[in-house]
Structure 1
Amino acid sequence: MTDVKTVALVTGANKGLGQETVRRLAGRGWLVLLAARDRGRGEHAADTLAAEGLDVEFVELDVTSEESVAAAVKAVAGRVDHLDVLVNNAGVGGPPLDPADTEAGMLRELYEVNVFGQVRVTHAFLPMLRKSEQPRIVMVSSGLASLTHAGDPTRPESGFLALDYASSKAALNMIVSQYARALPGFKVNAADPGNPATDMNGHTGIHTVAEGAGAIIRLATLDHDGPTGGFFDRNGPVPW
């Protein structure tokens, strides 16, 4: 069993925002478990970062599968005796549909990953997080989840219609609030990465992946005096 000071696990981390988060956290001297559902891609990403001298290991984890998550917990528990940081980064986007054309069934795939998957993974890893002296959970949300921004016609979020994606991230924000109040001693927060250029948006985003990871890194590295139950981008608080 590995004896390390700080251990983090990042889901959906074989590319983009997740992989950059792994790189940045491992660069602090942490052991970072790079979790991804595709074994080949995940192992390649972990090997690439390990070749840079970073302490990164691959963990196979599909957030939509109870069996996969349970196996991942067992695998992690066989390597380390606790988990300090969980970054729930895995997420999917939907097709650009008008809300009036969006059927209920279209929401299920997104909610399975963006909402149910986050709860599934968090619940499964809570026992290991409870063993940490300073447990932190970061949910990767979106500025599109902000009801305040959506209702402000001067904001770009107001003009972006995505009933499935935006509502899934708004639900995730409430989940953050619930966990934060239910888990004393934990730091549980939502991160808004902005609009980084990733596969999810066809690399049309206006921020770099490094910029997008800024809020995640800040929340993953909070000290005892840091906030909990909040929503933040790299510049500070985001209105609900």
Structure 2
Amino acid sequence: MINVLIIEDEESAFENLKRILFEINQSTNIVSWLQSVEQSIDWFKSNALPDIIFLDIHLSDDLSFKIFETVDVTCPIVFTTAYDEFAIKAFELNSIDYLLKPITQKTVEKALNKYHSNVLPNATPFDKLIEDLKSISNNKNYKERFLVNKGDELKIILTSEIAYFYKKDFTYIVLNNGDRYPIKFTLEELTGLLNSTYFYRINRQVITNVKAISKISLWFKGKLKLHLIPEYEETIFVSREKSTDFKNWMDK
């Protein structure tokens, strides 16, 4: 039996990985599913380390390397990523495996084989990896424009024109003037492509530009209520768990 911890903020990605792990080995024990840096830090402080961790790079509240700045994690880690080839190279140099999304059974088997044959007896320190990730984050080339369909034409949207993104049946761009267009990216992918100085993932449905936030209201149980321009069709709340991180982001 192998004890596996999965840290992943997208439920569909978690369910896919869990299914694959059980297909490979029915005795796999998923010790927990965590979805944020804050939740992960709390978990590590009160639980024994698993045999291996599958860890997404971008979580709902921050980059996952922030976890290692607070707690000492010495077990093998397999990182997952959807977009950053530079990060992948960093993982290779540090002998830490990665899964490039969308995750398949073949790539998971490769990672587990590496765990059993190499990583387990020779676990690599994570200090250099953390520094590499910080460097990657600081020198990231962020997405500057999107190409969208407008009737029978293609239209270029500059990132500076975007008020927010939201997920419904598709992912949509909403412009400062209220126009909206469907795009091919998921919110998870956008989290890695957008400059976090200006864009913040509020919840599972919305990533907003700081310029689109017109009002922030204190709400019950430590939550925050946001008002966006153009107006969003549903009420938007920042959870109590994310409120501190959100306020720090607003105060940059």
From the two aligned structures, give the one with the greater strand fraction.
Answer: 2
Select the structure with the greater relative contact order (CA < 8 A; seq sep ≥ 6). Answer: 1
Larger Rg: 2
If the TM-score is normalised by the length of the shorter chain, which range does it land in? 0.3 to 0.5
TM-score with structure 1 setting the length = 0.39
TM-score with structure 2 setting the length = 0.37
From the two aligned structures, give the one with the greater helix fraction.
Answer: 1
